[in-house]
């Protein structure tokens, strides 16, 4: 019996954005490594209508992964999802529905052991809302689809690795979301992510919320009442965490190698410095899932959609990370 090919799947995200384009460009001229297969998931029409689809002529289509020829190294897996109308740059509910169906199919296949990694292209949160979907992003959706107890985002770019204590939360709601329990979980997820990346014994910097990390309570009490207790709890569980460190210091220290991961308190505290040093090559790794999922660290870029001008480097970096981790033990796989 021939050994099953390691399969890396790609979901198109919102078909009216740049997801299909950057995925196809990232794969262009990059044959699957030995023992590996690429699988494009979703309506075949979505993949084949892009200007970047010139190299898809020899990609066979299949309705089920199990129907793919055992030796086929590149396939389009179309599980019968209706193709949305193509309106580059426009928010549409049908594109959101197709994106959700592709993600769901890929996650289910990964949980069955048929896929070794899923690289997801960007979805449109406004489109999801128009379609009546309750999830603010991929992370929350993936948590529900996999039944994961806790999940987190780790962003990698340049010399930085950043984990977020809160994700898509309005800034005014961040302090209330930073409970000691949620913070400890975020720190422990960051530690698990570091170990998955091969960084055992990694030092983790935990940012403060307020300027100067609260300045001893003069600029806010969250550091003393929530963040510091969470750090102490994580340390007792064996995590090498330090802080609270002012946000305007922690990233400099991490960039020079003092810390392997920075835990940021809110989205832009973590993403602004990371995108400064790794905008074109940033990657998102979802922590806490029983499957391996990576994604480019950018959005649907409607202003570029359909113009064959999108930069695929972030998607290629997401693919490279998926290949790197696919052969390692997932800390959260039961």
Task: State residue 215's pLDDT score.
Answer: 86
Task: State residue 3's pLDDT score.
Answer: 65
How, if at all, do strands 117-120 and 293-296 pair? parallel
Each domain of the chain, given as residue ranges in start order, spans 1-150+288-334, 152-287
- Are residues 38 and 148 in contact, defined by beta-carbon separation less than 8 angstroms? no
Task: State residue 1's pLDDT score.
Answer: 34
247-255 and 267-278 helices cross at what angle (nearest 10)? 30
Residues (pLDDT < 70) of the chain are 1-3
Would you state the structure tokens that stand for residue 118, as one six-digit string? 């899923």
Task: State residue 122's pLDDT score.
Answer: 97
Would you state the structure tokens that stand for residue 236, as one six-digit string? 């007792």
Please tell me the distance from the alpha carbon of residue 85 to that of residue 65, in angstroms, as a whole number.
25
Would you state the structure tokens that stand for residue 5, as one six-digit string? 């090919």
- Are residues 93 and 131 in contact, defined by beta-carbon separation less than 8 angstroms? yes
The CATH number given to 1-150+288-334 is 3.40.718.10
Task: State residue 65's pLDDT score.
Answer: 87
The CATH number given to 152-287 is 3.40.718.10
Task: State residue 136's pLDDT score.
Answer: 86
């Amino acid at each position: 019996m021939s050994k099953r090919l390691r399969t890396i799947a790609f979901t198109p995200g919102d078909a009216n954005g740049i997801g299909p384009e950057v995925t196809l460009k990232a794969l262009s001229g990059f044959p699957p490594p030995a023992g590996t297969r690429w699988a494009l998931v979703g309506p075949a029409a979505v993949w084949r209508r892009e200007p970047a689809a010139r190299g898809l002529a020899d990609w066979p289509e299949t309705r089920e992964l199990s129907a793919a020829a055992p030796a086929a190294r590149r396939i389009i897996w179309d599980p019968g999802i209706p193709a949305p109308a193509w309106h580059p740059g426009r928010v549409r509910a049908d594109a959101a529905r197709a994106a959700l169906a592709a993600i769901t199919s890929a996650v289910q296949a990964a949980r069955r052991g048929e896929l070794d990694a899923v690289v997801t292209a960007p979805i449109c949160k406004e489109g999801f809302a128009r379609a009546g979907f309750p999830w603010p992003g991929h992370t929350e959706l993936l948590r529900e689809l996999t039944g994961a107890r806790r999940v987190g985002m780790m962003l990698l770019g340049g010399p930085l690795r950043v984990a977020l204590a809160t994700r898509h939360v309005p800034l005014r709601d961040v302090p209330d979301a930073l409970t000691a329990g949620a913070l400890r979980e975020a720190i422990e997820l960051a530690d698990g992510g570091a170990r998955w990346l091969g960084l055992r014994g990694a030092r983790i910097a935990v940012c403060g919320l307020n300027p100067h990390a609260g300045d001893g309570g003069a600029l806010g009490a969250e550091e003393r009442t929530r963040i510091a207790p969470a750090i102490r709890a994580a340390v007792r569980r064996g995590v090498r965490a330090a802080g609270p460190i002012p946000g305007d210091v922690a990233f400099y220290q991490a960039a020079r190698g003092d810390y392997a991961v920075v835990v940021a308190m809110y989205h832009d505290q973590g993403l602004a410095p990371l995108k400064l040093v790794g905008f074109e090559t940033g990657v998102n790794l979802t922590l806490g899932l029983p499957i391996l999922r990576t994604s480019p660290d950018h959005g649907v870029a409607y202003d570029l959609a359909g113009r064959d001008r999108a930069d695929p480097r972030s998607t290629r970096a997401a693919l490279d990370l998926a290949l790197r981790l696919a052969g390692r033990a997932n800390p959260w796989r039961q």
